[in-house]
Amino acid sequence: MSYNWEVNVRKVDPYTPGEQPSDKNIIKLNTNENPYGPSEEIKSVIASLDDDMLRRYPDATASQLVSELARFHEVSEDRVFVGVGSDDVLGMCFMTFFNSDKEILFPDVTYSFYPVWAEMLRIPYKLIPLKEDFTIDVPSFIDNGASNGGIVIANPNAPTGICLDRKSIIDIIESSPDSVVIVDEAYIDFAEAGASVIDLTTKYDNLIVVRTYSKSRSLAGLRIGYAISNPKMIKYLNDVKYSYNSYTMNYPSIVIGSAVIRDNDYFEETLAKIKNTREWFTDELKSLGFKVLPSSTNFVFASPQDGSARKIFESAKEKGIYVRYFNLPRIDDYLRITIGVDEDMKKVISFLKDFLTT
């Protein structure tokens, strides 16, 4: 007898995450992790985790973490939502807020998980092409303002690294008062001070800002993300979350994630180091003839003079240097290179010098 259960399967083309090689000697600059590990203070918090934290269910509301984040961002606790990395938070946002027949809008070149969630959840979407210089085409978002099902903007954008100015974000939000605008600030800590729009969540009732611990906070392995919005939107998000999985935040994440927020000096110190290395690395790439987009993130998006991005990617990999290459329209001659420690970035430059002269 043959069964045709496959017709009922929710078929999806999954997101492809960057490779996670097990070899520790690899210079790993392909997934925008932070090269600086947790501080000594955080290591001692990790060492203090006890058996109960594994034996018991965690607090479903993750109230300790929510309260630290609320204090840090100077907002009330009912304006904070936490999740298992910002991927979880963003996925929840798509599920909660994009539930109409209207198309949601996001740029054609952006975080490649957005179309995957849209496809998986059967949300119609429309790509708004970036301008020639890879900046966001604000007028096109505004033109589509009256009739969209939602808007998603990564700011700074990925993989371009380019930051959109505050006024443009305000114009986009104001042009779409009837749909939810998600601003994904995964990399915002590496941008100029004042680039975040978290403060605007008190002014606009359709804005939600999503953040992660994976980049600036050095904790990609722990999986913590969060969103800040108004109490009404956070309540809607929590209603969906509790209808899906109540215990998303594990105990160690709640405890370590809370301690990391209090450890601000170390955070500022590592941010400054990464930004300095980024400036040095950008200058070096430019002197090798690369076009480098202005980065407000912990990576650079760069294109070699002679169209050899793919070859560089492959040759670097053979030499144990992993960077990210996207074989996609418009960006197939670019490399996305995460900023690592100075020593590793010097090795990348010396590899590139060898590659370009042989």
Instruction: Write out the residues near ligand PMP by the rule CB under 6 A.
Output: 85-87, 111, 154, 158, 184, 186, 212, 214, 220, 225
Nearest one of 231, 303, 220 to 260, comparing CA atoms: 220
Token pair 């997101």: residue: 15
- For residue 313, count CB atoms less than 10 angstroms from its CB and return exposed for 0-12, middle for 13-18, buried for 19 or more: buried
Contact between residue 309 and residue 333 where contact means Cβ atoms under 8 Å apart: yes
In the complex, least distance from residue 287 CB atom to ligand PMP, rounded to whole angstroms: 28
Rounded alpha-carbon distances, angstroms, from residue 84 to 42, 167, 241, 330 = 19, 31, 11, 31
- Between 85 and 149, CB nearer to ligand PMP: 85
Whether the CB-CB separation of 267 and 217 falls below 8 Å is answered with yes
Evaluated on CA atoms 188, 172, 87, 336, the torsion sign reads: negative
Cα–Cα distance measured from residue 277 to residue 286, given in angstroms and rounded to the nearest whole number: 14
Q: CB nearer to ligand PMP: give 136 or 186.
A: 186
User: Two tokens at 43?
Assistant: 């290591």
| Shortest Cβ 8–ligand PMP spacing (Å) | 29
Shortest spacing between CB 256 and ligand PMP, in angstroms: 15
- Minimum CB separation from ligand PMP for residue 188, in Å? 10
CA 305 vs. chain centroid, Å, equals 28
Cα separations in angstroms, 196 against 159, 211, 269: 18, 10, 19
Nearer to ligand PMP, 17 or 231 (CB): 17
* Nearest-approach distance from CB 66 to ligand PMP, in angstroms: 17
**Residue 68 or residue 284: which is nearer to ligand PMP going by CB?**
68
In angstroms, give the least distance from the CB of 91 to ligand PMP. Answer: 9
Smaller CB separation from ligand PMP, 214 or 253: 214
Between 224 and 352, whose beta carbon lies closer to ligand PMP? Answer: 224
Report d(CA 281, CA 164) in Å as an integer. Answer: 22
Instruction: Tell me the closest approach of the beta carbon of residue 206 to ligand PMP, in angstroms.
Output: 20
Nearer to ligand PMP by Cβ, of 116 and 288: the residue is 116
- Residue, CB closest to ligand PMP: 85
